[in-house]
A and B are shown apart, each in its own frame.
Chain A
Amino acid sequence: MVQIGKSVVIKGELSGSEDLTIEGQVEGKIELRQNVLNIGPNSKIKAQIFAKQVVVQGEVIGNVTASEKVDIRDAGSVDGDITSPKVAIAEGAHFRGSIDMQRGGAKPAEPAKVAAPPAPAPAPAPAPAAKA
């Protein structure tokens, strides 16, 4: 695994085909589409991120797209939109943005079957049917 140290600041596009741990600062774009990106506890990332898996223990500002999983640990922080079939957020983690788990590349899980609601008494609209 490749590591980018605490004192390193990168501005621009970062791409590769190995797993990567970032302890420093990156501003721009990170592409590791087949690999794991580990964002260390002291790192500050201001970038668009594309990876197979992303583990966030530091601070991320930007959108995160992962084909497998995004994991925000308890000290991690993400301000941005997440697209991934699996998202884990630990208690104490900060997150602000949207989460879309349907466009992350994996088949979505079967939606829960919930009984159709009764039609509201005065409502002119018909009650919607439950999704199969």
Chain B
Amino acid sequence: MSESARGGFASRFLRWGKGGEGRGAREERGEPLTTKAFGRFLSYLTAREGPVLLDLGPVVGQNVAFFGERLGCKLFVEDLFVDLDRAAKEGRGAELPDLLRGRITREDASVDGVLVWDLFDHLDRPAAAVLGEQLARVLRPGGVLLGFFASGAPTPGASPTHMRYQVVDEKTITQRPAPAARPRQPALNNRDIARTFSGLTVSESFLMRSQVREILFRKPQR
């Protein structure tokens, strides 16, 4: 094991073990994940003056503080899981492409970064295509989009959940399952994911230990 790997583990261990926190506290905060793509995402974002970030996940106070206070981002929060849950509860899951059309109201090329977290795991292909097109539209040239994509098939019979991600630092995030009305959809393969965000190019792609693919997209400069 490398020195840095040991250091990373040690710091995580100390952080999670601080104050005699037990398993309950860890569960409350979530499972820590080491991420490579998130650091790259931040690098692109912080290279910009007054970066504008669009977060499509649940509102998480610590993330707001991280992006707003620490990085100086202007943050737009649009929790689309609420839309997905509402559609599922109303039995309108099949209408998601129509419901999502025009959902992102930001102007063209007005956003430097988009965080979709695991949102696209919960969309079927038509809905993913509709949303992907809107996100490509609002990104500025050179802007970046980060998403997490499951690899395996959804567990049959499992209660539907989505992940609530919390940023710890540029290399570590935590994930915690949150109840959802809409279950995860069959995993998209890499080619389908790339097609979903037509107009963007895959800049980086990593496979996490959990078999989740973290993929960083970039909008080409004009």
A residues adjacent to B (C-beta < 8 A): 85-91, 93-102, 108-109, 111-112, 114-117, 120, 122-125, 128-131
The answer to whether A117 touches B70 (Cβ under 8 A) is no
- Could you tell me the distance in whole angstroms from the C-beta of A108 to the nearest C-beta in chain B? 5
A102 to B73, CA, bound (A): 8
Q: Assess A124 versus B221: contact at CB under 8 Å? Given A86-B69, A98-B74, A131-B47.
A: yes
Residue of A nearest to B59 (CB): A95
- Could you tell me the distance in whole angstroms from the C-beta of B213 to the nearest C-beta in chain A? 18
Please give, as numbers and ranges, the residues of chain A lying within 8 Å of B46 by CB-CB distance. 111-112, 114, 130-131
* Chain A CB within 8 A of B75 CB: yes
The answer to whether A120 touches B203 (Cβ under 8 A) is yes
The answer to whether B75 touches A99 (Cβ under 8 A) is yes
Size range of the chain B interface in the assembly = 20 to 34
Partner of A96, one of B48, B78, B142: B78
Please give, as numbers and ranges, the residues of chain A lying within 8 Å of B70 by CB-CB distance. 109, 111-112
Provide the main secondary structure of the chain B interface.
Answer: mixed
Partner of B72, one of A88, A111, A120, A128: A111
The answer to whether B71 touches A111 (Cβ under 8 A) is yes
The answer to whether B65 touches A87 (Cβ under 8 A) is yes
Please give, as numbers and ranges, the residues of chain B lying within 8 Å of A102 by CB-CB distance. 50, 72, 74
A121 to B218, CA, bound (A): 12
The answer to whether A109 touches B142 (Cβ under 8 A) is no
Q: Assess A123 versus B218: contact at CB under 8 Å? Given A99-B77, A112-B170.
A: yes
Please give, as numbers and ranges, the residues of chain B lying within 8 Å of A87 by CB-CB distance. 61, 64-65, 68
